[in-house]
Chain A
Amino acid sequence: MANMRTMSFDAVIVGGGGSGMRAALQLSQSGYKTAVITKVFPTRSHTVSAQGGITCAIASDDPNDQWQWHMYDTIKGSDYIGDQEAIEYMCQTGPEAIFELEHMGLPFSRTEEGRIYQRPFGGQSKDFGNGGQAARTCAAADRTGHALLHTLYQGNLKSETTFLNEWYAVDIVKNEDNAVVGVVAIDIETGETVYVKSKATVFATGGAGRIYASTTNAHICTGDGVGMALRAGFPVQDIEMWQFHPTGIHGAGTLVTEGCRGEGGYLINKDGERFMERYAPNAKDLAGRDVVARSMVLEILEGRGCGPDGDHVYLKLDHLGEETLNAKLPGILELSRTFAHADPVVEPIPVVPTCHYMMGGIPTNVDGQALTIDKDGNDQVINGFYACGEAACVSVHGANRLGGNSLLDLVVFGRASGMFIEKQLREGINLKEASEADIERAMTGLNRINNSADGEQASVLRAELQTIMQNYFGVFRRGDFMQQGIEKLKALRPRIENVALDDKSNAFNTARIEALELQNLFATAEATAIAAEGRTESRGAHAREDFQERDDENWLCHSVYFPDSKTLGKRGVNFNLKTREAFEPKIRTY
């Protein structure tokens, strides 16, 4: 410990995906000494898998489009627990953020007029729900995340951001004032442990879809930021809200973009019926993702599923014609042929709702400052600590995210966090130095794993955790089942804390990293379980069989999970729009 090296930066961003690199770009462009700690080379981050696009009212498809309509759709989509101030900021600032990306070279698809191509996505409307389906999702074919992530990496190369590639952040370093003053991180290639000290620490660590057995998420989506925040005693918000994407490829879990349905594809059951017409007569296959996913599960449960086990439905695309599919959805053709052994040009793709996105996360304000709640229920900024992207809960998605809003979220709030930290750095940030004991505290988890003498394999424990989450905290939830799930997690906790690490070598030891990731998966899963059991209503993605109605009287609020007491509190939703009166909660139909 006494020999541990320290590296110092003005700002450290943990995570090299879209939001992290957008924040880093902002800071390095203004000349601040900025580092990105990323456990994979930046272009391997999960943003790369985003397909369909980035939703934003740039008025290309419809010259009369308005960002206020996008704001309305997002608030409705959130089932009214998205913070309206944050949603207003995102939808209003969005076009500027998109045009910046385009100027940086993002290869968007184009219209005949030379503008950015926009496609219809679920939950989109014109004129506050009164003008029919909108086409508001800006796309680079069906590889928008790839194009966006590479463009941001390229921008950071140009602005000379320091990249600590294949470094893994282990835990938060807090000073005596409970402010965040950096992280302890491992250089994976050499195994060296370093204190990375910073005036501003931004968590852009992405989601944690790997808490479920079936997920569209990459192997690396292990909730590292949420886990670190919880271990540091900081709360997380709305963590029970997990989006199940309607169209994961059956068996493989890989994502098939909502853009397929945007371009005219639709779901059918074993009778060939376009069943979404029954569940959402207006929007049909382009209803909110929570609505479509639940409808699919009901079809399967009621015996109208496809395949020998009746455990999936079909996504039909062949009627769109080969030319359109090649031009608009080339990546989907590849994925379906590879993972479903189905050629969408002639046959439907077997799909099933699959864990896709974490709506909850580290609560922040619009400037990316991480928040905790004091004993009087007031928001308190955590000095030195910021979060953006999927790891954060700002909250623009509330109980259900609209397709295409995740990329917008990460660009807009990565940028906003960067701009705010820039301002703070200009004015001067003075946080007390961490003591040796403060740094040592951040080494506790790593030391325990490095000294493990026996215990079970990480892969076995991880599989058990994923099965518990899949079985007890899936698309439909029930109180007594969830209580059983919570008991099973309790029994799993000591076994996961005691995970084996037989190989103690230093060079590129991925077993060590997986043992650390497992701790974060568990922390995220446990918070999810307790919050899901605690929210006694159905709202957005959180559907309970024992509380089937939305309960605005008691639950028109955020849930806040406190790790030290393992209890659930509440936090008010922000209804303070700057440009108009707030949108009042209505019954949500599509």
Chain B
Amino acid sequence: MLNVSIYRYNPEVDAEPYMQDYQVDTQGKDVMVLDVLEKLKTEDPSLSFRRSCREGVCGSDGLNISGKNGLACITPLSSAVKGNKLVIRPLPGLPVIRDLVIDMSQFYAQYEKIQPYMINNSPAPAIERLQSPEERAKLDGLYECILCACCSTACPSFWWNPEKFIGPSGLLQAYRFLADSRDTATEERLANLDDPFSVFRCHGIMNCVQVCPKGLNPTKAIGHIRNMLIRSAT
């Protein structure tokens, strides 16, 4: 039997959060953490968590699993269980709505701040805008972000300034548009980021890189933005 300890909090019932212990029979199989949660929910339907695609592309089930942020659906027990114990908490640093469900408004607000859409006011051609494979390759490692918030909620700078620091996820997306040969708003985008907090609160701690379930590298993208800001200032 696997020992599972889960963060519980229902604002209508509980004065404060607590850890609830369960025992789960995994039949020795190396299933995913989400499978364990689903099994527990059949026994205790009051346990609340988000999930959708169950294959690591929708970004619903970002959780803090045995101390590390990750997606429950693609984290096998073999990489999360220590001493026959699995500890599941909500992603840290954002308000908890209930159990493992956090309020992600601040995270989404930072995403919206970077104008996460193509800006190109030149008249569109009758077909697609052309882009070479080399230009397109610059978007690899950027566009794949699934907005799961594993990175931003692992970032001390985001914990301290969630209203002012864009955070690794938002900045990765900012660079996704800066790097796109089809986008023409580079100056405007850089001007929006040019303050002491938006970008420069990144201290290169690299927790984001360590936890990203898609293997992306926000720190590198932030470095590129810094260079662009410095170059545009001189």
Contact = CB atoms under 8 A, between A and B. Distances in A.
A507 B143 contact: no
A506 interface: yes
Contacts of A505: 10, 12-13, 46
A40 B50 CA distance: 9
Contact of B46 (A105, A335, A502): A502
Interface stretch (B111-119, B164-172, B196-204, B223-231): B111-119
Contacts of B13: 505
A111 B136 CA distance: 10
Contacts of B116: 154, 157
A197 B143 CA distance: 36
Contacts, number: 150
Contacts of B135: 110
Interface string B67-107: 00000001010000000000000000000011101011000
Most buried by A among B13, B112, B133: B133
Contacts of B206: none
Interface string B109-127: 0001000111010001011
Interface string B30-66: 0000000000011001101111111111111000000
A103 B117 contact: no
A43 B146 CA distance: 8
Contacts of B112: 157
B12 A507 contact: yes
Nearest to A341: B30
Interface stretch (A113-121, A236-244, A481-489, A561-569): A113-121
Interface stretch (A257-265, A468-476, A508-516): A508-516
Given A99-B126, A505-B12, A506-B12, A48 B117 contact: no
A525 to B, nearest CB: 20
A510 B42 CA distance: 12
A450 interface: no
Contact of A457 (B45, B48, B136): B45
Interface in B122-155: 124, 126-133, 135-136, 139, 143-144, 146-147
A109 interface: yes
Nearest to B115: A158
Contact of B97 (A49, A95, A114, A189): A189
Interface of A: 40-41, 43-46, 48-49, 58, 95, 98-99, 102-105, 107-116, 140, 143, 146-147, 150, 154-155, 157-158, 189, 218-220, 254-255, 331, 334-335, 338-339, 457-460, 502-503, 505-511, 514
15 contacts: A40-B50, A43-B147, A48-B53, A103-B120, A108-B136, A114-B132, A115-B130, A146-B146, A147-B143, A154-B116, A220-B52, A459-B41, A503-B45, A505-B46, A514-B45
Closest 3 CB pairs of A and B: A105-B118, A114-B130, A459-B42
Interface of B: 10-13, 41-42, 45-46, 48-60, 74, 76, 97-99, 101, 103-104, 108, 112, 116-118, 120, 124, 126-133, 135-136, 139, 143-144, 146-147, 177, 180, 182-183
